[in-house]
Structure 1
Amino acid sequence: MTLKTLLLGAVATGALAPAAFAERGEDGHVNIIYWQAPSIMTPYLSSGTKDIEASSLVLEPLGRYTETGELVPYLAEEIPTVENGGVSEDLKSITWKLKEGLLWSDGSPVTSADVKFTADYCMDPEGGCAQLAKFDHIASIDTPDDLTVVVNFDEAMPNPYGPFMGGQSPILQKAQFESCTGAAASTCTEANFNPIGTGPFVVDEFKPNDVISLSANPNYRDPAKPAFATATLKGGGDAEAAARAVLQTGEFDYAWNLQLAPDVLASMAEGGQGTPVSAFGTLVERLEMNMTDPSPDLPEGERSTVAHPHPILSDFNVRKALSMAIDRGLLTEIGYGQAGRPTCNLVPAPALYASDNEECLTQDLEGAKALLEEAGWTDSDGDGVREKDGMKLSLLYQTSTNAVRQDFQALIKDWWNQIGVETELRNVDSSVFFGGDPGSPDTFQKFYADVEMYANNFDGTDPQSYLQMYRCGNEPKPSSQWQGENINRFCNEEYDALLDELAKTGELSKRGEIAKQLNDIITKETMTIVPLVDRGRVSAHSNTLGGVVLNTWDSELWNAADWYRIDG
């Protein structure tokens, strides 16, 4: 055992502070692999997890969530609360205090103007911000001095931690992005690929959908961090290759989102080079039902927009039958084993917010057939495909390219065929599917299909911002450069009214009740979202990489500044 390893052990036990011996960059290079390659380095122009997480190496929020869901300050001095005076008694404002002496990676000071600008940037109605739900109910933002930011809400906000908390809502440098607002946001390639940040690393070279080369931020606030002088985040390939690169060959130090069959992952772990890590959070693999018409017969700019309701999936009975035909238990067993749980909920955790909705857990093929028959979808010509009013019950079902997802597609197609639904399958390279490029026809935001499958989750332990994604008007559309969080174009007045009630409700038990109602409207009463599996997050790190703490409530790279090399 080397002296450094002994010292690191002392640090872990609190016997010795890292600053006593650590030096920025002394551990050389770290290799990270995300088989879904990042396409952009700002979460404000992408809902893709791979882009949000890559960005978190460079861009930071005022506060983050720990692996236990606790709120901790990052750029802020402390987390504002009513008790410390940071949140007003009437819950209509929150005051953040920046740490003194913070510098951007270019050496310029971080000020309250940058924080205010970030909110203005996202809230610009022409900008198409992918994280707009984080800024719901903001009335104004004041900056009384360079270190103080006061966020004023238009009503009491018992949970005022939407803006500037977590990896989905970091601070942008005003000087770099001030000419990139509104419709110009997506055109600012240099800023979007090479943001100036406060995080432990800076971008040296960004190759979209391929690789990011980074180096230690010379102005990072802790002079002893990061331990690594340089880093590479490699994208592309598939989950199996990523797992092999850490667990068997040792080429990489960290592999994200190992969406593999449990037996495959267990076999790889025997390679002895690395360690799988897993934890449950709020990641749900689900089907999104397109409530708008994606037909290529419509003019470009009108496909998948609210001007054209879906000719088949607007029928609730069809959506319900599609859900009834699915065996979620079998999907979970085949795809995730103990790292998954069948679910009917969009919000599976924490327990306070998780509905007891379990109706979907029992597959009912005969019931699905009967429901379609009663709704007038019949197979009149005996070809095995139902039709109604001259329209075939035929659907295009898309997802990203991944072995587990293609297994799911095959099984679901078979079940749907059994109930008389003709199903065409399509899979898209994950870097493109989750990339958010407004010019691509293949992004999950544009949704040029009838049904699509993916997984998503939310920062922290409170689902308010997550549920706000499905507010009327928050759908991706041409006027927002196809950005937006309401992916299936859902709109329901009762739902929006409950969102407003949740925003002003402080008592936790009542917040839980409202969140469950919102969950049930989407997943049970309307079935515009069909949850499949509550997925545990599974990643892996090399046996020589220390400091890794898997976090399902924030970015997985949330504490990359604390990573270090363990000597063999």
Structure 2
Amino acid sequence: MRRVLVGIGAAALVGALLAGCGSNPEGDTRSTDSIVLGVQSEPDTLNPVLGYAVEGASKIYDGLVAYDDKLEPVPALAEKLPEVSPDGQTVTFTLRPGVTFHDGTPLTADDVVFTYRAVLDEKTDSTLRPAFASIAEVTAPDQRTVVFRLKYPYAPFVKRTTLGIVPAKALAGHDVNTAPFNQRPIGTGPYKVESWTAGERLVLVANESYWGGAPAIKRVTMAFVADDNVRAARLRSGELDGAVLPPKIADGLGQLPGHRRWDNPSADYRIVSLPLNHPVTGDVAIRRAVDLAVDRDAMLRTLLNGQGKPAFGLISPDAGRWFEPAQARPGTADVAAATRALDEAGWLPGGDGIRAKGGQRAAFTLMYPASDSLRKDLATAAASDVRRIGIDVELVGLDWTAINPRLGKDAVLFGSGSPYDPDFDLYDSLHSSLAGKGYANPGRYANPAVDDLLDRARATADTAERVRLYHEVQRKVATDVPNVGLVFLHHTFVVRDAWTGQLPRTEPHDHGFNGIWWNLEDWTTR
């Protein structure tokens, strides 16, 4: 069943992708029914209500729908895609029969209702609430039917229903924010949690009763290794079977015997989010000059070995019709235009080469997560580029606990990006109603015209009209420059070549189980 869901013709695609792959080196006796994967970040919780794996990137849970290898929604816990009323405000799902949670409890519509109501409950510390703001109510007319009534038509609503479903009985009567369930969860997914050692690893074992068929890989360990170089060393030593790595590091491991390198396109952007209430970056002339001065082509060439594309906004050029081609331009720096913009705005060079205006020095702080070597390199390159036009950037590497209180006050080298629908990136990052709410709109951007376009684009089911509106959003934002796009990454993986069944697809920012192993439950031993 699971293999049917990833699309007819998948077998032909897999054959083409894996043609010419070698087998494990002779004498390699490592297990193929278990796998150890190295990832960069560790979740704060394993409860989807609190934000864990909201786009289907979990092997512990299933949503009502999942994404296939073409990023189209397909039925998961729902037996078919939902019925949507003509006015777009009633969405009705019918659940797949016979699904059980890991403890053997049957899945019912009450569990779905509980999950969504928990997200919407103001007492729940969920970062997801804005994503489900369109829901007026969710009800269960019977044990296999779930009805969502929306406050307004919300075109991408079905794509939001990848949210993992939790068992109501396991959480009823508990404070969802602090429940033991958050560390020892129960889901319906192809794997169940054996153990979670904070700071080290998450160990999963196969759900032999999985509705989509028991996985061939029986044990999965996600090793949390923040440092890129340490992750590479552990892969080289054989401690890891696979890892996500920056392209420069992956280049040195791509020929590792018995391994294969994968380079996947993604919607994963790296941007400099500029605070609009800052005395320097609050000036649009500064923001435009920084945008012009950044040499994106050099970043791609020297830091990513060509594995990516220049970014001029939040929508990738690989996003097809959603990308506004008018904002594309050469990835090289335009120092002359940047200098002219600053001169015309009254930012004039001082004795030390740094510009000033009205006694205010053209200087700001750029934060980046210290453990991320690529973001450090990108921040260093950007600071060097803008120094050439007389803007001084102080680089500060911090962990996220130190960065978070300074969001909106200092610039930050941010990463995010979703390939599923433009609403997911543009609304969260640009709408003024979300300014300062978690990681949404960190620069506190506010433009009423952009707010109106975003509201209209999510409310219409007419795809052509949505495209037109999102193109207009991108043009207006390109003029305001609340963020300076740097690059869209290709995600790079090196994986032991012991299994078949990989189906590469365009990835979101989040790694976790969204990498080349997004369909790990379907892999089989080579």
- TM-score, scaled relative to structure 2: 0.85
Selected match of 1:493 from 413, 428, 448: 448
* Partner in structure 1 of residue 149 of structure 2: 152
Measured in 1, the distance between the counterparts of 2:67 and 2:495 equals: 21
Deviations 1:50-71, CA, capped at 9 Å, x for gaps:
x668960212211111121222
Deviations 1:324-359, CA, capped at 9 Å, x for gaps:
110111111112234211131311132110011124
Selected match of 1:194 from 172, 176, 184: 184
Aligned pairs for 1:119-518 within 5 A: 119-165=116-162, 169-178=163-172, 185=177, 187-188=178-179, 190-222=180-212, 224-246=213-235, 248-256=236-244, 258-261=245-248, 264-291=249-276, 309-348=277-316, 349-356=318-325, 357-359=327-329, 361-380=331-350, 382-400=351-369, 401-429=371-399, 433=400, 440-443=401-404, 447=407, 450-458=410-418, 460=420, 462-469=421-428, 470-477=430-437, 483-518=438-473
Measured in 2, the distance between the counterparts of 1:265 and 1:447 equals: 32
Change (3 A) 1:412 1:528: same
- 1:112 Cα deviation (Å)? 1.5
Measured in 1, the distance between the counterparts of 2:54 and 2:247 equals: 22
* Partner in structure 2 of residue 558 of structure 1: 518
* Partner in structure 2 of residue 89 of structure 1: 86
Selected match of 2:46 from 26, 32, 41: 41
* Partner in structure 2 of residue 536 of structure 1: 490
Deviations 1:185-241, CA, capped at 9 Å, x for gaps:
3x44x332232211122222223332112222354224x512233221101143344
Change (3 A) 1:103 1:476: farther
- 1:111 Cα deviation (Å)? 1.7
> Contact conserved, 2:408 with 2:442, CA < 8 A, in 1?
no
Measured in 1, the distance between the counterparts of 2:49 and 2:471 equals: 28
Measured in 1, the distance between the counterparts of 2:49 and 2:273 equals: 22
Deviations 1:75-121, CA, capped at 9 Å, x for gaps:
110122xxxxx122222221111111211112222222222222222
Report SS of the residue matched to 1:151: strand
Measured in 2, the distance between the counterparts of 1:492 and 1:34 equals: 37
- 1:282 Cα deviation (Å)? 1.6
Deviations 1:450-481, CA, capped at 9 Å, x for gaps:
22123222152x2223322132232345xxxx
> Contact conserved, 1:131 with 1:484, CA < 8 A, in 2?
no
Measured in 2, the distance between the counterparts of 1:229 and 1:322 equals: 50
- 1:528 Cα deviation (Å)? 0.9
User: How many residue pairs are counted as aligned between the two chains?
Assistant: 490
- 1:31 Cα deviation (Å)? 0.8
- 1:126 Cα deviation (Å)? 5.0
Deviations 1:118-156, CA, capped at 9 Å, x for gaps:
222222345453333431422222211111111112233
* Partner in structure 2 of residue 109 of structure 1: 106
> Contact conserved, 1:328 with 1:533, CA < 8 A, in 2?
yes
Measured in 1, the distance between the counterparts of 2:411 and 2:37 equals: 32
> Contact conserved, 1:36 with 1:238, CA < 8 A, in 2?
no
Consecutive unaligned residues of structure 1, counting only runs of 5 or more, are: 1-10, 15-25, 81-85, 292-308, 434-439, 478-482
Change (3 A) 1:286 1:217: same
> Contact conserved, 2:268 with 2:507, CA < 8 A, in 1?
no
- TM-score, scaled relative to structure 1: 0.79
Report SS of the residue matched to 1:361: coil
Report SS of the residue matched to 1:139: strand
Measured in 2, the distance between the counterparts of 1:288 and 1:192 equals: 32
1:345 aligned partner, one-letter code: G
Change (3 A) 1:352 1:128: farther
2:426 aligned partner, one-letter code: L
> Contact conserved, 1:327 with 1:361, CA < 8 A, in 2?
yes
- 1:527 Cα deviation (Å)? 0.8
- 1:520 maps onto 2:475 in alignment: yes
- 1:44 Cα deviation (Å)? 5.0
Measured in 1, the distance between the counterparts of 2:42 and 2:368 equals: 16
Measured in 1, the distance between the counterparts of 2:49 and 2:364 equals: 31
